[in-house]
Structure 1
Amino acid sequence: MAAKNEIFFRKLFDETHGKAFNFLKALSRDENVAREITQTSFIKIWKHIDKFKDHPNPKALVYVTVKNTFLDEMRKQNRLNALLTSMEENEHLHHTIADTSGDSPVAGEAFAAVHSAIKKLPEHIQRIYTLYQFEELSPVEIADTLQLSVTTIRTNIETAKLFLRRELKKFRN
């Protein structure tokens, strides 16, 4: 079975990789970005090869996967840019986790409390919350990575948020 999957994947890769790369290069206007997203897309395709084998038009599904991977990456980049802009606009957020010993002992205490509160979560919820909050993976991506249902992931994220709100109540304005 694995050999058939490899043969199917190789054929699909050979037929679509070049066009997918060129499509992404045109969208992103950056060869390195196109290369990264193409690679990420084909890793996703390999992980879900059975879905592609069963699809009536696997080539079309490749291009949908490539487009969606590109859009996901752009959303992540936009969230990061929005966060950086917000930090620049709000001077009180200039303190980073690495620089908590400077002129704001309250910020250092808050970051230490956040770290400590996350450590109190059950290990599986810590992992899910970390992937969601710090790695910026979507619940669907986390579910795929951990082989759990999306509902389970969303429930665990909400559980973590509620717990952290209670634990960190004194730091809220």
Structure 2
Amino acid sequence: MEKQALFNELFQTHYPKVLRLCKGYFNGDADLAADASQEVFIKVWEHLDSFRNESTIGTWIFRITVNTCLIYLRKKSTKKEIRSEQFPNVANENYSHEIEEKVSKMYACIQKLDEMGKMIILMVLEGMEYNEIAQVVGLTEETLRVRIHRIKKSLTQCVQK
């Protein structure tokens, strides 16, 4: 497959996941997440020829995404507070202010995690398989499972405060 066609396929397949992962890193800031996602795919294009097939291409793209988001966070050391207006308005009879508060609190609790914890939980929420996450973060699958358990316990305690 030629490079352009492969890139187009990768972009179509992975862009939504990359964007959601970036939004998780940036407290739901859609503009910043879109900028970082664009940067991710610039890097994918530039380094596509050097991909070594040591992992799946999706895992490689997620690693680039995590690194790019961390670089953005270091550059923009000012952290934004989560505001309820950042979340979409949903016209639904099941929607309540209480749910909005819980979602906001969960985002705030995720932001309190260390970088590794944040990276892991955002990939779990994205639905990635544990073996893929383990490859991205450089842990064994068993160690990852223990970390995920501890992260979930920590988030549960944080949200209940």
Higher helix share: 1
- Normalised by the shorter chain, which TM-score bucket? 0.3 to 0.5
Q: Which has the higher contact order (CA 8 A, sep 6+)?
A: 2
Instruction: From the CA coordinates, give the structure whose radius of gyration is larger.
Output: 1
TM-score calculated relative to the size of structure 2: 0.44
